[in-house]
Structure 1
């Protein structure tokens, strides 16, 4: 039986429904220079209007290929990681979100966490995509579909910050992190990180990881201050097949 060649891209049903037209993710095979023109033709043939490309930051050749067709680089995706040794103590003032529904305050924090999201900064992305995506993210986190915990910090009875966590084997992953306007510079971000580490330690995770945008200087500084190191950097491109009108 002949071996099927690797797929050049994969269609993304959830993203396609959200955008209102076919969206795909390019595979490394589809980004090979000798195959890339054919990949673009296949995408157009299936009506795809947007394809995501995720490339190692150091892969200058593939980045030049995407730059050459005018695809915008929409994110410098930075992954931070920290080895956990156990025994950390949960900080005061951070608790698990106990309500079964998302409040307006919690939703506002989720939206604030994505202020530099590529779905917000790319002007070609339809305006409804970013808020719909992040509202779904926090709702599904609270329901336990994509997160195992939603931790919140409170100040004077109001929500001051949030962090969501999901454990995948020995790795605990932070999803959303945000501090409310008017509460920044008060150490709340550090408390949330300490709470995330304590939560992970309690579940015997050996590692804590979090992803952010390289342009998010405040987030990068927070993660470094918590003892996290950069373990991976990637360039994210949006390959538009045609102008969005």
Structure 2
């Protein structure tokens, strides 16, 4: 069995996780027929496939790929009144841009909150997912991955949640990470974070805000759909890997 794609070596992920990692690129103009043995030199080969591509998914499964996680990408229109988000505004909490001094608590929170993701066993080691997202939020604060990180804080200045944002183009932004702090329970923080992201888009004259989440994250799915976002696409992540040693 084979698929038509190119194999893209992921240098940064390989270095970070200590595992030789590549990804199949099905859209590359230089793609060619890939046979299973050509991927044997990598510890992990990733493939992200549209959920509608059932034949492709079957072909990958026959080549040793396993389903890891499903993903749903949402799109929220900016520029019209969003009654759901506005109704969740807090009279006491405030929104601030994260600063360097906020990195340590944000890293700790991201490591705890995002401990379960597609970077999971048996392909990755315990703690890898948390380390990955801790670095992500740090880079968002300093603007070297996502471009900014917004915080919702209470009246005393305690961080209740965070959302990172990236400029995609003149009209579009994307949420990278969105989460409430582990101790912030039942305060509607998720809705306040979405409102902060929405208002940031209005201020920067964006027309659309994109955000993706895994299908197992029911709370996020409900938040984005209640916020008025529509489903733009669905996909599956599949991995092929040599993971007996983990």
Question: TM class by shorter-chain length?
Answer: 0.7 to 0.9
**TM-score (structure 2 length as normaliser):** 0.84
1:62 to 37, 56, 67: 56
Name the CA shift for 1:80/1:152 in 2 (closer, same or farther; >3 Å).
Answer: same
Q: Does 1:151 align with 2:150?
A: yes
Deviation digits for residues 118-149 of structure 1, max 9, x if unmatched? 113x3331234223211210111111111222
Q: Please list every run of 5 or more consecutive structure 1 residues that lacks an aligned counterpart in the other structure.
A: 1-5
What is aligned with 1:168?
168
**TM-score (structure 1 length as normaliser):** 0.85
**For 2:49 and 2:148, how far apart are their aligned partners in 1?**
30
**For 2:94 and 2:106, how far apart are their aligned partners in 1?**
14
Name the CA shift for 1:103/1:181 in 2 (closer, same or farther; >3 Å).
Answer: same
- Cα contact 2:98–2:151 (8 A) shared by 1: no
Q: Please list every run of 5 or more consecutive structure 2 residues that lacks an aligned counterpart in the other structure.
A: none
- Aligned to 1:125, the other structure's residue is in SS state coil
What is aligned with 2:67?
73
Deviation digits for residues 180-206 of structure 1, max 9, x if unmatched? 234232211101101100000100001
- Cα contact 1:83–1:208 (8 A) shared by 2: yes
Name the CA shift for 1:60/1:140 in 2 (closer, same or farther; >3 Å).
Answer: same
2:24 to 6, 23, 26: 26
Q: CA deviation at 1:71?
A: 2.5
- Which aligned pairs between 1:178-217 and structure 2 lie closer than 5 A? 178-217=179-218
Name the CA shift for 1:42/1:101 in 2 (closer, same or farther; >3 Å).
Answer: farther
**For 1:101 and 1:42, how far apart are their aligned partners in 2?**
46
Name the CA shift for 1:217/1:115 in 2 (closer, same or farther; >3 Å).
Answer: farther
- Cα contact 1:16–1:23 (8 A) shared by 2: yes
**For 1:19 and 1:190, how far apart are their aligned partners in 2?**
33
Name the CA shift for 1:195/1:29 in 2 (closer, same or farther; >3 Å).
Answer: closer
Name the CA shift for 1:55/1:184 in 2 (closer, same or farther; >3 Å).
Answer: same
What is aligned with 1:12?
10
What is aligned with 1:43?
39
- Aligned to 2:56, the other structure's residue is in SS state helix
Name the CA shift for 1:69/1:59 in 2 (closer, same or farther; >3 Å).
Answer: same
Name the CA shift for 1:178/1:242 in 2 (closer, same or farther; >3 Å).
Answer: closer
- Aligned to 2:209, the other structure's residue is in SS state strand
Question: Matched residue pairs, number?
Answer: 232
